[in-house]
A and B are shown apart, each in its own frame.
Chain A
Amino acid sequence: MQDTAAAVLGQTNFTPFDWVIVLVYLSISLVIGLFVRKYVVDMSNYIGAGRAIGTCLGIATMTGTEMGLVTVMYSAQKGFTGGFAAFHIALVAGIVTFLVGISGFIVAKLRDTEVLTIPEYYEKRFDRKTRILGGIMLALGGILNMGLFLKVGSIFIVGVTGLSAQGWALPIVMSTLLILVLVYTTLGGMFSVVVTDYIQFVVLSMGLLVATGIAIQFIGWDHLFETVASQMGSAGFDPLTAEGNFGTEYVLWMAFTAGLVSCAIWPTAVARALAAKDSTTVRKQYMLSSVSFMVRFLVPNFLGIAAFVYISTQAPDLKALFFPGEGGQAVNNLYAMPALLGRMLPPGLLGLISAAMIAAFMSTHDSYLLAWSSVITQDIIAPLRNEAMSPAARIKCTRICIVAIGLYILYWGLAYKGRDDIWDYMAVTGAIYFTGSFAVLLGGLYWKRASSTGAFMALLSGIFAVTGLGPVQALLGWNVSGERIGLATVLLSLVIMVVGSLLFPDRAEADQPVENQNMPQLAEEL
């Protein structure tokens, strides 16, 4: 970063008092991680919190996990570049989550199967090889997906604290936060995750509401809308218009990814459903969480819009950095929202909001680390071993995986020098898993003739999603939007699941005489 840019971005209200607030908060999280360690006696307790989470705690922990700092940063970026039209992401996410709650689509049925992870369901419904492949695809997509989390989260922290001028700050912040997360996740498992998620929900919800109120007062309600209207035109409000950043395909893709996948397919969200008391609790939790699923996009979108209006109309020094005119190189617009918060919020409150954001950062990391490492242990390593693994060995293996993944994200965050769009990177890496998984879950839960071969092929077809990446498209000579590739991969997986199941039915079903194949269903009906 150039010295001038660093000096301008270094102007912040963050004081030593704010550091004290942040440090006290982090210390409390660490102590909780150590305190709940005594409850971890088996794998069910470690990754499912003993399956004893009530509705309110379920909502808190789900929101704490899904409202991560990366989501906040990415959504603020969308608000900064797309204006109020970006609100459609929040709206579709909330509506789809509410519909999943009412219907119990996927999640309630999955909870009734009593499994701990999605790949475990694959084995129960299909076979062991589907479980192992499902685990590999999930771990691959998931770990790649969180590869830039640590760096993006740390950019927020150094941005809001004004440390971005110091070259040493980013790696130090990344390492410190990673160590904290690793300590309490490896020690306490899901117990420490749900308890700290609860505290994080309280701090985060209060912090976001207060920050929103201050932003409205600081910039002006009418001024926000007038500026977006004058600078972006109808594209700043209408998400369906082809002139803007979105369009109909994008809205559909958001309904699938930000809506259905986020709440019903993505393992960190599904883990909350599987840890709930029963399927009735799951439905209730999802209906009520739909508000949180909207807010996690809506408020950061709004803060991004506020940053756009503030920089465009009230901060000429920042405007010169973010909109330098022809020939100039603009500063990464991820810094816009932290820059606004650093100048807008008074000391003390800035510390509280920063603690809330760090809370969001940590709650995502702990859940993701636990999710991917438990998948590697439960769904890849344990099924591949000839001998049975004891609960103690499984917990130890999960802890080793947590540390290994933590080291990978630290390495990747420090080594990765690209300036890719975070959302493109995340959507493509995530799609490797969720496109195939959607077809397999849908077929497995709702179609009796779905076969293990069909499921295996559908899971593999998720690899097609990598063609949405810019470098891969350049190699292939394609120029197709990420959302189009994503929707095509979803359709492809569904078709492969159906065709594969019809062409290669499972042996038990294939051996049955045709007239007897519907006997179990008839017996159930009788």
Chain B
Amino acid sequence: METWMTVWKVVFIVVLAMFALLSIWVTIGGFKDIRELFAAMDAAQQEAEQKKNQNP
């Protein structure tokens, strides 16, 4: 039982620490990804409208 207790203590602390770091990284990186996603969609939308105007 002592071994399992130690295992779960280590797993819990290590995983939470990793998740805290991942959360910070994803929060910053995800914001950049959203901006890029919208920029790409804006460009695609403009391109579609231009094509529509050229070939009514």
A residues neighboring B (CB under 8 Å): 38-39, 41, 45, 49-50, 52-60, 63, 84-85, 87, 90-91, 94, 191, 194-195, 198, 201-202, 205-206, 209, 212, 225, 229, 233-234, 237-238, 288, 291-292, 294-295, 298-299, 302
Contact = CB atoms under 8 A, between A and B. Distances in A.
Interface of B: 1, 4-5, 8-9, 11-12, 15-16, 18-20, 22-23, 25-34, 36-38, 40-41, 44-45, 48
A295 B15 contact: yes
B15 to A, nearest CB: 5
15 contacts: A39-B38, A45-B41, A56-B29, A56-B32, A59-B22, A59-B26, A84-B5, A87-B12, A90-B15, A205-B23, A288-B22, A295-B15, A295-B16, A295-B19, A298-B15
Contacts of A60: 26-27, 30
Nearest to A63: B26
Contacts of A201: 23, 26-27, 30
A302 B12 contact: yes
Contacts of A63: 26
Contact of B4 (A94, A206, A238): A238
A84 B26 contact: no
B29 A212 contact: no
Nearest to B21: A291
Contacts of B1: 229, 233-234, 237-238
B41 A50 contact: yes
Given A237-B5, A238-B1, A295-B16, A52 B41 contact: yes
Contacts of B41: 39, 45, 50, 52, 191
Contacts of A54: 29, 32-33, 36-37
A209 B44 contact: no
Given A49-B37, A237-B1, A55 B29 contact: yes
Contacts of A52: 36-37, 40-41
B30 A57 contact: yes
Nearest to B5: A237
Contacts of A39: 38, 41, 45
A239 to B, nearest CB: 8
Contacts of B29: 54-57
A85 B4 CA distance: 8
Contacts of B37: 49-50, 52-54, 57, 194
Given A39-B45, A41-B48, A234-B1, A57 B33 contact: yes
A229 B5 contact: yes
Contact of A50 (B11, B32, B40): B40
Given A56-B33, A57-B30, A209 B4 contact: no
Contacts of B31: 198
B7 to A, nearest CB: 8
Identify the interface centre among A194, A295, A299: most chain B CB within 10 Å of its CB.
A295
B26 to A, nearest CB: 5
Nearest to A228: B5
A90 B14 CA distance: 13
Given A84-B5, A198-B34, A50 B44 contact: yes
